[in-house]
Amino acid sequence: MDIVSILITVAGIIVMIALYIMGRISQNRFPKEQDNSIPRINDDFGEVTSSIMEDIPATDGSTPVVVEETITASDPPTKERKQAVTPRQVVLFIASEEGKMLDGNKINEVLPQYHLKFGEMDLFHYPVEEDGVPSKLFSIANGIQPWTLNPDDLKDSETPGLSVMMQLPTPLDDRDAIEILVSTTQMIATDLGGSLKNGNQETFSKTDYQDLIDSLDH
């Protein structure tokens, strides 16, 4: 090989080395930009859809829709209405403390607070509705003759007690009716400074309440 061929070969090698070095320098100076774009997701019809991941936006810019299952509770079973087997009247008493009297003005004030309304037979009645028709659950009368509770007559008067009467069966479930009767008259008795008595005019007890409930089956 003559000297010219040797020089050409050496020059070619030098050029190749120089190109390689320049290429490496160029890669380090200008790193290849990574493709961070989110891949396009298509449905079976070729339409762009939202990402299946809740925290990754869709390629169309929309926010993924998260469908939450709604569980609807079934309606609770309807309680069978309880009615007294034998029609009868429940009688309770609101009695004054021994040696005292119930104040007529206070009676006029307290009874309306518990939704009792003056009406038929000059008595106070606890109103309810039966199939949309106005009715009464129980009535309260004066404990002494003539038994009436006319608001005008009660002014500046006194009485030893009040009589409470409820006819079974009632327009409601009789268990609910007894609960309303007892709870309401107990609060009235407390507000009047008296006490609730059973039909024998003894202090009304939990046993008396349970006896009323049990009596519905007899």
Structural domain includes residue 46:
no
Contacts of 57 (CB under 8 A, 6+ apart): 38, 51, 63, 64
Residue given tokens 């320049």 in the structure block: 22
Are 114 and 16 members of one domain? no
CATH number (domain holding residue 193): 3.30.1400.10
Are 18 and 106 members of one domain? no
Q: Of the candidates 44, 2, 206, 191, which has an alpha carbon nearest to the alpha carbon of residue 113? A: 191
Q: Are 161 and 102 in contact (CB under 8 A)?
A: yes
pLDDT at 131: 83
pLDDT at 14: 59
Domain tally, the chain: 2
pLDDT digits over 35-52, tens only?
A: 444 444 444 455 544 443
Are 19 and 96 members of one domain? no
**Which of the residues in the chain have pLDDT under 70?**
1-79
pLDDT at 6: 53
Q: Which domain does 165 fall in, by range?
A: 88-217
pLDDT at 15: 45
Structural domain includes residue 62:
no
DSSP designation for 162: E
Structural domain includes residue 33:
no
